[in-house]
Chain A
Amino acid sequence: MDDWLIAIIKVVCIWVWVLLIAVVMTWVERRGAALIQDRPGPNRAGPFGLFQPLADGIKLFTKEEIIPTKARKILYILGPLLFSVPAFSTYAVVPFGDKIILGGKEIILQVSDVNIGFLFILALGSMAVYGVILGGWGSSNKYSILGGLRSTAQMVSYEVPLGLALLAIVFVYGTFSLRDISLAQQGTFLGFLPNWGIFKQPLGFILFIVAAYAEANRVPFDLPEAESEIVSGYHTEYGSMRLGLYLFGEYVNLVTLSGVTVALYFGSWHMPYIDLGAYLGPISWGIVSFCIFFLKVSFFLWMFVWVRWTLPRFRYDQVMGLGWKGLIPLGLFNIFITALFIQLTV
């Protein structure tokens, strides 16, 4: 009974938390863009415009829902759901802190520590492609179809380098579980570096982060919704909260991808050089580890914003070229090197 309760509390808490971050991210995105572009940005709703996401939410919820006459109705409605549900569920296997001990009970700060860890993430990530392609197809709009096709091709192609980068991580840590990988990143590496994944897999990290940007459909890989070319891509015909689900799902994806990046490559909840867990009590360490983790996550979230407002966009064939001719051979090379290294040292 207790386990059930704890599980439900964790699910609700982390769901609300991820939603909250996604909401704040929409604000950070705009204010960050404004900061980069020498302008004030939204600053009317609430202090620093902090209530702007709320206003947007109310707007999206209260808008009339329009289904285009020519749309394929079932697919059109299914699209945003198929996109957002996997986005919301992926975070379940990503940790958000070490563990907390309450009333003699050890609670790990992760919704579920499944032993197939990021296979689950990859699987759900592939599910999201259906949301995009069905939405694009169901809209009966040429721009939407183009956007859906672009997005599908891109997400499918970039899942390969993403998987290859993760495979090398499995070689290094010998497990799929994100919690086990996180735990293994404590201490130092070669005596002076923090024992983080990025130092063991530098090439893998670059592959992963590039592929993650492509998976999240962010600049420079935002062709599926390239405004100047295909209006809004697959969600051109969407309005009200259906559009909101697409937009929101994207921000949730950013949170998840940042969480995975931190858990795999940036030492999860570990501070470099200092093992805070040894000094703090079980409850305070739980809170501190949570804070450390999300500080790191917020850095990567900011990276997404930063890159978006700095770089131009790739062209479709260039994205494909980079994926298939650049990242995948590099990913295979990385696996080869990693395997060789492990073979020689172990």
Chain B
Amino acid sequence: MNQNPTSQTSYESDNYVTINIGPSHPSMHGTLRIVAVTDGETIVKAEPDIGYLHRGVEKLGENLTYHQFIPITDRLNYCSAIPNNVSYEMAVEKLMGVEVPEKAQLIRVIMMELARIADHQVCIGILGVDLGAFTPFFYLIIQREEIYEIFEWFNGARLTNTFGRIGGVDADLPDDFEQRWEELKPNVRKANDETEKLLTHNRIWMDRTIGVSTFSPEDALNWGFTGPCLRACGVKRDLRIDEPYCMYDKFKFEVPVGKNGDVFDRYIVRMIEMEESIKIIDQAYKLYKEMPADAPLMARVPKVIKPPAGEVYSALESPNGELGFFVKSDGSAKPYRIRIRPPCYMMFQALPELVEGEMVADLIACISSLNVIAGELDR
């Protein structure tokens, strides 16, 4: 990606203006860069240029032990670190053939769903900011802070949680989780309600989002969309249901599906998913309470983890979509190769197709609604 991406294209016309958006730009969440060729306000072509946040995460994994890599996974999708941790841990556990105790799985589910709520809150809040509606962002971010309080009080970290261990979780839920959660729940719902009131039926919001950057289900599948963006296109695929892990098959929840795959559908799908996550947490906590207090939290795993030689791919439904880890072991204490499949890499690829013919303002809305996180995009 050394040369200017548009230099090879045939869009060199006097009528077109090439605008460089990013990597330092108010709405380029982190360090995304887009080179857009525009005809007035209309985008003729938009090419994403990635790699500004490349930190060699996968290579780092080859030089760290299996446990040491968990904090690195925090830095992938920094809006919701916990699913990253769990996804990696699940991959190693699968490689080792370890069965995680049920209680630990429930704690993972509770924490992952909290992270999902936090992630969706940020995504919707930022989408609002990018479309000029500043206020819902604050309503949502205040509640996200409360969720972070729970994380903080669980293991001391707010953003980079380094949650769990290979084989289970390191700590039990603290005693007053129920009280905290019951306090938090109505507030999260209230913030969502307020956001919905401000945005969902707002004429301007509808004009700005409905029919913007629509995507057909076939295209979405071909480009490798997953998560809320795929479901917004009308494909009912959710790894939590299709390939259950962590006891997700025991919970009852709806998978919201959109119709047009436009920005509005992505927004609505996320809004509904937050509500469903609340339901999942309630059910998971109910199951958790039925467990004996001294139920194990860790499977029997050796201190130094040396999985048998082999390779494994394991994925879970992160807030953004399918987050997969491919881990190859040669039997030593360090992984031979780690490969991460981040959900937004696939979605960011489709950006030129999504925004072609739309306007500059729609480009920003589209990126926001895809929830492209530079951390997991560039790795």
Contacts and interface: CB of A to CB of B under 8 A. Distances in A.
Interface string A257-281: 0000000000000000000000000
Contacts of A313: 131-133, 204, 208, 361
Interface residues of A, number: 29
A19 interface: no
Nearest to B130: A228
A146 B361 CA distance: 12
Task: Tell which of B17, B202, B359, B361 has the most Cβ of chain A within 10 Å.
Answer: B361
Contacts of B135: 36-37, 309-310
Interface residues of B, number: 30
B208 A228 contact: no
A33 B360 CA distance: 27
B205 A312 contact: yes
B128, B198, B360, B364: most-surrounded residue (chain A CB, <10 A)? B360
A220 B132 contact: yes
Contact of A314 (B26, B130, B204, B362): B204
B27 A312 contact: no
Contacts of A226: 132, 361
B26 A227 contact: yes
B64 interface: no
B304 interface: no
A317 interface: yes
A109 B58 CA distance: 73
B132 A37 contact: no
A217 to B, nearest CB: 12
Nearest to B131: A312
B330 interface: no
A228 B22 CA distance: 11
A302 interface: no
A220 B129 CA distance: 13
Residue in A222, A229, A318 whose Cβ sees the most chain B Cβ within 10 Å:
A229
A312 B133 contact: yes
B295 interface: no
Interface in A164-181: none
Which of A39, A146, A230, A315 has the most chain B CB atoms inside 10 A of its CB? A315
A269 B207 CA distance: 39
B361 A229 contact: yes
Contact of B132 (A142, A150, A228, A231): A228
B170 interface: no
B326 interface: no
Interface string B311-355: 000000000000000000000000000000000000000000000
A344 interface: no
A5 interface: no
Contacts of A38: 138-139, 142
B159 interface: no
Contact of B202 (A219, A230, A312): A312
For the complex of A and B, list the 5 residue pairs with the smallest distance between their C-beta atoms, beginning with the closest.
A313-B132, A312-B133, A228-B27, A37-B138, A228-B130
Interface of A: 33, 36-39, 142-143, 146, 150, 219-220, 222-223, 226-231, 309-318
Interface of B: 17, 19-20, 25-27, 41, 128-135, 138-139, 142, 198-199, 202, 204-205, 207-208, 359-362, 364
13 contacts: A37-B135, A37-B138, A38-B139, A39-B138, A142-B20, A226-B132, A228-B129, A229-B361, A310-B198, A313-B208, A315-B359, A316-B360, A316-B361
